[in-house]
Amino acid sequence: MKKIGFIGLGIMGKPMSKNLLKAGYELIVLSTSKSSGELAAAGAALADTPKAVAEQADLIITMLPDSPQVKEVILGKDGVIEGAKAGSIVIDMSSIAPLASQEVARTLAEKGVRMLDAPVSGGEPKAIAGTLSVMVGGEQDIFEQCRDVLLAMASSVVRTGGIGAGNVTKLANQIIVGINLAAMSEAMVLAAKAGVEPELVYEAIRGGLAGSAVLDAKVPLVLDRRFEPGFRIELHKKDLGNVLATSQQYDIPLPLTSTVLEMMRKLEEDGLGASDHGGLIRYYEQLARVEVSR
C-alpha cells in the first residue's frame, strides 16, 4: 500500500504527511491546501478535489477539524466517496463524534469502501517527531493492513474496538487532558498567589503522584508565557463538546468535563481560542489577579 491520499494539511496533518513521505510512501494531497506547495516540493503529487485524491489512491487519510468537515470531504459533492474504488480504505484521523464515524463508515460500506477511525494524541511536537499515539476503531483485518502506515506517523498504535471506538477513546483522552490542565492551573495559581515560586513547586511535585505528561509538557511553557498553539483551546473545546454530546446519548453525567468546557468557552469569548490549551491557566489568573511566570 504505497500510494496514499492525504486530506487536511493543518498543524497536525502537514507534519504527518511529511513523515509518510519520509517513510517512502507516494502521497497525493489537495492542491487547494495552503501547505500543498510545501508538500509538493517534498515529493507529493497534487489533486484538485477529494474525489480526485481518492481516484489516485488505495488508502485515503483525512485529518480535519470536526464531524461536519469530515462528512463534507468524504460524503459531499466531489468527495472521497465519488472517487474511491471498491476495496479501498479510508482512515479518518480527525477527532470527531463516534456516531459520525459510524455514519460515514456505513455510507462508505455501501460502495465497498472500508474505514478506520483513528484519532491521535500528542499535538504538533509529536506529529513532527512521528511519535503520536493513535487510537483506532474498525475491523481487525483492516487495522492489520494499515498498521505500518500508521506507525510511520506514530510510536503507539492501538485498536480499541469496532468503528467509532477510536473516537470514544480519544474523547476519554481529552477528558483526562482537560481536567489535568485545570488541576495544573489551579495548583500553579495557588502557588503564585501564596508567594511560592511556581517553578519550584513544579520541580518538587513532578516526580511524585501528581506528576504527569500534562504537567511536564505545559508548566514550562506557562512559566515562559508561551501560548502559541500546539493544540488550540478552540479545538479542545470542540472535543469536550463531542464528549458531552456522546455522554448525553448514554445518560452519563460528566460534571468536571462540563466545568472545563465552560472555562474554555469563556477564554474563546475573550479572544483566546486560538492559543494553546495550556492557556487554560489564564482563566484562573484572571479570577485570582495573578500571573504565573518565572
pLDDT in tens, 106-146: 999 999 999 999 999 988 889 999 999 999 999 999 999 99
Alpha helices in 110-254 (DSSP H): 123-129, 140-151, 165-193, 198-205, 213-223, 233-249
Q: How many Å apart are CA 279 and CA 227, to the nearest integer?
A: 6
Residue range 218-244: average pLDDT? Answer: 95
Under a CB-based contact definition with an 8 Å cutoff, are residues 160 and 111 in contact?
Answer: no
Yes or no: say if 240 and 261 are a contact pair by the CB < 8 Å rule.
Answer: yes
Cβ neighbours of residue 62 closer than 8 Å, sequence gap 6 or more: 7, 8, 70, 73, 74, 80, 90, 91, 92, 93, 94
Tell me which amino acid residue 280 is: L
pLDDT (tens digit per residue) in 172-205 = 999 999 999 999 999 999 999 999 999 999 999 9
pLDDT band at 1 (very low <50, low <70, confident <90, very high): low
The answer, yes or no, to whether residue 80 has pLDDT greater than 80, is: yes
Average pLDDT of the segment spanning 24-53:
93
- Once rounded to an integer, what is the mean pLDDT over residues 239-265? 96
pTM here? Answer: 0.91
In whole angstroms, what is the distance from residue 85 CA to residue 83 CA? 6
The three cell numbers of residue 87 are 476495496
pLDDT at 33 over 90: no
Mean pLDDT of 12-41: 94
Reference 8, options 90, 65, 72; nearest CA is: 65
pLDDT category at 284 given cuts 50, 70, 90 is very high
pLDDT of residue 282: 98
Structure confidence at residue 169 (pLDDT): 97
User: What is the phi/psi pair of residue 215, to 5°?
Assistant: -60, -50
Domains of the chain: 3-162 (3.40.50.720), 168-288 (1.10.1040.10)
Contact assessment for residue 182 and residue 188, using Cβ atoms and an 8 Å cutoff: no
39-62 confidence digits (pLDDT tens): 999 999 999 999 999 999 999 999
Band the pLDDT of 34: cuts 50, 70, 90. Answer: confident
Average pLDDT over the chain, rounded to whole? 96
End-to-end CA distance of the chain: give it in Å, rounded. 50
What percent of the chain stands above pLDDT 90?
A: 94
> What pLDDT is stored for residue 131 in this prediction?
97
Among 17-26, 34-43, 139-148, 202-211, the minimum mean pLDDT is found in 34-43
pLDDT for the residue numbered 146: 97
12 within 8 A of 63, measured Cβ to Cβ = yes
Neighbours of 123 (CB within 10 A): 19
266 included as an active-site residue: no
* Among 18, 126, 170, 237, the one annotated catalytic: 170
User: What single DSSP character describes residue 84?
Assistant: P
